[in-house]
Amino acid sequence: MLKQQELVSEEKPEVSLFQGKKGMAAIMTILLNDAEKKKEVLGYGNVSLSEKIIQYQSLYWRKTQLEKKIYMRAVSDSMGDIEHRSPPEWKKLTQVRTNNEFSKLNVYVIITENLVGEFILAGELFAVLKKNKDLADKERYNFEKMWKVAK
């Protein structure tokens, strides 16, 4: 007979809500600080909408990503003007594949080692930050599946 083991996480999960453009900047800072440890971040969703709605915060993201030398892989609806407006150094740190289906979403998700940030880009702007390694691992698993089928 197999003995059932209970997996107990020592990490206490945390969920935080960030509102408005200032909240977007705050959550981006938290995500970039966490990503700095492993120098890697993953993202997926509607980047075109993100660029339109939180343009200065998105610019802040790219600038800080470059300063901290954080490698990013992303699956998005399209890159739009981002590649044309970004310096060559940023392009060396960022690899993007596309999936046009993401244009139907009003969300962009960023994944670091321990955090998942979900940016809601319709209506009243807000973002949800989830701190839990198991949840981040699950999101990384889903991202890898999306990455394989994206162009």
Domains of the chain are 15-149 (3.30.870.10)
In DSSP terms, which residues pair with 69 in a beta bridge? none
Mean pLDDT score, 25-37: 92
**Where residue 2 falls among pLDDT bands split at 50, 70, 90?**
very low
Q: Which amino acid type is present at position 5?
A: Q
Instruction: Tell me which residue has tokens 């979900």.
Output: 118
Question: In what order do the strands lie in the sheet containing 40-45?
Answer: 14-19, 126-131, 115-120, 107-111, 40-45, 71-76, 94-98
Residue 4 has pLDDT above 70, yes or no: no
- Structure-block tokens of residue 84: 């044309």
What pLDDT score was predicted for residue 123? 86
Give the whole-angstrom CA distance, residue 62 versus residue 40: 13
Q: Which amino acid type is present at position 1?
A: M
In the chain, the percentage of residues whose pLDDT exceeds 90 is 44
What pLDDT score was predicted for residue 49? 65
pTM as predicted: 0.84
Mean pLDDT score, 60-65: 82
Give the whole-angstrom CA distance, residue 23 versus residue 126: 7
Give the whole-angstrom CA distance, residue 38 versus residue 70: 8
Give the whole-angstrom CA distance, residue 23 versus residue 128: 10
Mean pLDDT of the chain: 83
What are the tens digits of pLDDT across the range 64-82? 888 899 999 999 887 655 5
